[in-house]
Amino acid sequence: MRRTLDGMQTSVTPTHCPYCALQCGMNLTPEQDGGVAVVERPDFPVNRGALCGKGRTAPAVLSSSIRLTTPLVRNAGVLEPATWEEALGRIADALSRTRTEHGPDACGVFGGGGLTNEKAYTLGKFARVVLGTSQIDYNGRFCMSSAAAGGIKAFGLDRGLPFPLEDIPKTGCVILVGSNLAETMPPALRYLTELKANGGKLIVIDPRRTRTAEQADLHLAPRPGTDLALALGLLHLVVAEGRTDEAYIQERTSGWEEARAAAMAHWPELVERITGVSVPELRETVRLFCEPESAMVLTARGPEQQSKGTDTVGAWINLCLATGRAGRPLSGYGCLTGQGNGQGGREHGQKADQLPGYRKLDDPAARRHVAEVWGVDPDSLPGPGRSAYELLDALGTDIRALLLMASNPVVSAPRAAHIEERIKSLDFLAVADVVLSETAALADVVLPVTQWAEETGTMTNLEGRVLLRKQAITPPEGVRSDLHVMHELAARLGVEKGFPTDPEEIFEELRRASAGGPADYSGITYRRLIEENGVFWPCPAPDPAESVEGSEDCEDSALDVLPDDPAGEAEPMAPAAAAPDARPGGATAVAASGNHPGTPRLFLDRFATPDGRARFVAVTHRPLAEEPDAEYPVLLTTGRVVSQYQSGAQTRRVDELNAAAPGPFVELHPRLAERLGAKEGDPLAVVSRRGRATAPARITTSIRPDTVFMPFHWPGEGRANTLTNPALDPTSRMPEFKACAVRVELAG
């Protein structure tokens, strides 16, 4: 029950789905057994009431029958129930001992893209202030770090989408690169359906003819790992056919001549040989993209999860810049962030090189600002640490103890068998999670923590829209929040203050810490998030003193006094165009109310670079880190299915979802199946230089004959990430999940 302004109570709690970065709106209503049921919430503009199967069944994971409800500690090799006092004591003792004997960097911290902003912020602060370690990163590194790096290089700022989703159906053409929205974000498919209904064109680039590709006006099926060459070939044709926007290039960009020269080395026939996409298809793509007044390029994990992912994103951005399709209404480049808080999770400090507000950890001014908010000496803050895979690879050697929250690297990390061995070699592992994941099962201490419907906190969706998820039910006895965990551990490790358990109090500190940074949340309050259905960052406080001194909301919590709008009558925030401002990306002018209205659309007047111009980056195609050869002649690519999510730790425990997607499979073309002598359902072994995975054959003409596909949601023999290549992008440190050389054989 929630209290409203007039003291009445309501049984409806508006909130958001716990899974992907759409953060679809939903309403929760209580049931007689103490649980909750999901009902539509049509007032939220992102999904307008629509939900996928994962969202509809999300309350199933709240059940005590499938989730953790008591701490576990390992005794004589076996995890056994324990009290919170014993469990927290063991963790604090192990971290303290490790720090004393081996130094602070022997303690590692690994977070997750599903943590709320408050938790991500606190985890980064805990690592640097309490442990004094530089060794912190999170699984969001595996999500969109290449897009982030490419966006920062070109625009000076990374926000997944620099425009709201509502703009997509209004543009003239969308090139969707390496994304299968029909299965990864089903409610978002309506934006592409509406695009086509409005007369716009959809081009899908994917080595598989997915359910999303079936909706396309044009489907290009390049060889995995050749997206960079494809983008360069398209830019070559744009130049050759005289389709560049010379006035825009002159007025709003820099670096064009170098980028142009690099693209001209990728002539159409060469690109056809590299990618397998025909020259007529390349020319048709350019025509469809360039003829309308507006167009967009949207990328996802396909082009990004490569050892050249940053350059690949840069090449697609170059295509947008050369045609004047960035920083203009209904045009631009955007990244479809995957994880629930993949955007906010990296903005506030759980990434190895960042401080809150998307500040750089090696920037002296950033260190001074955040240290002042935290009440510590800037010199006490450690420097940048290892990226996610490099951190995991160092476990058991340089890193002796690990605190892990909301992640399951035993299933999700590349070269997963190796990472599993590194985790087993640790002196000590503590895991805080909702369920006993494959990683948690290896821990010395497991802490049962609250989940989405049992706690309050903010998330930032793929549009950069900051949202409030409100607590709807009381967690089971024995379950506590991650914020409680960090508060208690900090106290046991000698830091009595600075780690509160109230999420709104933490958000108020986050506002101050982010003030003036690229991801400025200082003008956002819990009250505004409820009243306005979310606020887009950057959103600076109108008075700098307000962001430093906090807001009156802390004294009279917005959660206690604001109505929950069960009827869905609240109006969504009106979109506002960006105007010039000293803040990154050209933040919108302060509204008449005195509050900054947020920035739904970035870059309309200037980019977030020192001179306000977008920067072309000269890039050239290069091969995969691991090309096929005689021993491993086939390419493996990986991805998701509609009824499972990420490592499957939660969705694999939901009967309805398991019935729809019960296990792994190997998707292959009939010609490859014929060469192997394989029939539908036959067990196949897929072997790479890193290991072997087995799963039933799924034979289809929707995939290239030189490629096989495996979903990555399952552990055990069908674990796709046993095979994947940890070769890292030199800038983003993203592993090459999307393509590696394998051989396929009948499993006997």
Burial of 254 (0-12, 13-18, 19+ CB in 10 A): middle
Number of structural domains, the chain?
4
CB 566 within 8 A of CB 530: no
- What per-residue confidence (pLDDT) applies to 580? 33
- What per-residue confidence (pLDDT) applies to 559? 56
State whether 364 and 505 are in the same domain. yes
- What per-residue confidence (pLDDT) applies to 346? 86
For residue 469, tell me if it sits in a domain.
yes
For residue 565, tell me if it sits in a domain.
no
- What per-residue confidence (pLDDT) applies to 591? 53
Which portions of the chain are predicted below pLDDT 70?
1-10, 543-593
CB 466 within 8 A of CB 441: no
Q: Write the pLDDT tens digit of every residue in 545-577.
A: 544 444 444 445 555 443 333 333 333 333 333
CB-side neighbour CA atoms (13 Å) of 617: 20
State whether 279 and 417 are in the same domain. no
For residue 537, tell me if it sits in a domain.
no
> Pairing mode, if any, of strands 634-639 and 707-711?
parallel
| Dist CA 739 CA 737 (whole Å) | 6
Q: Write the pLDDT tens digit of every residue in 319-331.
A: 999 999 999 999 9
For residue 665, tell me if it sits in a domain.
yes
CB 441 within 8 A of CB 79: yes
State whether 348 and 329 are in the same domain. no
Q: Write the pLDDT tens digit of every residue in 244-287.
A: 999 999 999 999 999 999 999 999 999 999 999 999 999 999 99
CB 310 within 8 A of CB 149: yes
| Rg of the chain in Å (alpha carbons) | 25
- What per-residue confidence (pLDDT) applies to 338? 83
For residue 723, tell me if it sits in a domain.
yes
Helix extents (H) in 618-732 = 655-660, 670-676
State whether 33 and 111 are in the same domain. no
For residue 648, tell me if it sits in a domain.
yes
- What per-residue confidence (pLDDT) applies to 91? 98
CB 447 within 8 A of CB 478: no
State whether 171 and 320 are in the same domain. yes
State whether 348 and 438 are in the same domain. yes
- What per-residue confidence (pLDDT) applies to 64? 92
- The C-alpha angle with vertex 631 and arms to 629 and 636, in degrees rounded to 5, equals 70
Coil/strand/helix, residue 82: coil
Domain containing residue 444:
72-98+106-126+341-393+402-519
CB 725 within 8 A of CB 415: yes
Q: Write the pLDDT tens digit of every residue in 181-192.
A: 999 999 999 999
State whether 350 and 308 are in the same domain. no
Locate 38 and state its tokens. Answer: 């999901």
The one-letter amino acid at 318 = N
For residue 281, tell me if it sits in a domain.
yes
- What per-residue confidence (pLDDT) applies to 10? 57
CATH number at 670 reads 2.40.40.20
Q: What is the dihedral of CA 248, 250, 256, 257, to 10 degrees?
A: 140
State whether 56 and 78 are in the same domain. no
Locate 26 and state its tokens. Answer: 């939903």
State whether 312 and 347 are in the same domain. no
- What are the distances in angstroms from CA 268 to CA 154, 229, 439, 687? 25, 10, 47, 34
State whether 165 and 293 are in the same domain. yes
Domain final residue pick, 519, 545, 578:
519
State whether 311 and 363 are in the same domain. no
Q: How many residues does the chain have?
A: 748
State whether 211 and 306 are in the same domain. yes
